[in-house]
Chain A
Amino acid sequence: SSVLTQPPSVSVAPGRTARITCGGNNIAIRSVHWYQQKPGQAPVLVMYYDTDRPSGIPDRFTGSNSGITATLTISRVEAGDEADYYCQVWDSGSAHRGVFGGGTKLTVL
């Protein structure tokens, strides 16, 4: 079964780069998806299949998946990027279920 581990919080100054990690067993062989959730709003998909960006998501958002960690990178961070970010995988093993990470609060200083 999959357990996804995210840091509870990440802080970054405007204009700098934020990196949010997602760790878990065999994560390198899974496809990782990322969601952004602002207060009082539903989550929005910002990355799928590790590195693919949905239409409308700025190219400041990039994804990677290697080793034991997947990473969502936000370049040139803006105040509007402040939100909770969740990683998610589909566990196609015996359980056939989706799994979310515990979420990371991104604070823009």
Chain B
Amino acid sequence: QITLKESGPTVVKPTQTLTLTCTFSGFSLSTSGVSVGWIRQPPGKALEWLGIISWDDDKHYSPSLKSRLTITKDTSKNQVVLTLTNMEPVDTATYYCAFGHNWFDPWGQGTLVTVFS
């Protein structure tokens, strides 16, 4: 059974850097073909694809966030880390990590991050 869970701060200040960790079980990110993605959802709004990282460390980012977003993996810890710099109030959202590449299944429960001074 594959499970994922996001963790990190619930509140960050404007201009700060957000670091979120996705801890997963049921698969290894060293296995060929495996990927983990990040998706976010502002309150009351639609899902937004952020980026993915694959088993071979291949990464793809949303063009609109590419200058601020970094996704890394720690295979030994079964973790994927999202880093988003220069946070703004518009970055307030529930952040999800999910298993997959072309599609995502399953998803973590999500974590709400509020950007607030």
Contact = CB atoms under 8 A, between A and B. Distances in A.
A29 interface: no
A99 interface: yes
A21 interface: no
Does more than half of chain A's interface fall in helix, strand or loop, or is it mixed? Answer: strand
Contacts of A45: 103-106
B26 interface: no
A61 interface: no
B49 A97 contact: yes
B107 A44 contact: yes
B interface, how many residues as a size bin?
Answer: 20 to 34
B90 interface: no
B31 interface: no
Contacts of B51: 97
B33 interface: no
Interface stretch (A11-19, A65-73, A88-96): A88-96
B48 A33 contact: no
A88 B107 contact: no
B67 to A, nearest CB: 14
A75 interface: no
B47 A97 contact: no
Interface string A74-100: 000000000000101010000111111
Interface of B: 37, 39, 46-49, 51-52, 60-63, 96, 101-110
30 contacts: A1-B63, A33-B102, A35-B104, A37-B47, A42-B109, A42-B110, A43-B39, A43-B47, A43-B104, A43-B107, A44-B105, A44-B107, A45-B103, A45-B106, A48-B102, A49-B103, A54-B105, A86-B46, A86-B47, A88-B47, A88-B49, A90-B101, A97-B49, A97-B63, A98-B37, A98-B49, A100-B39, A100-B46, A100-B49, A101-B46
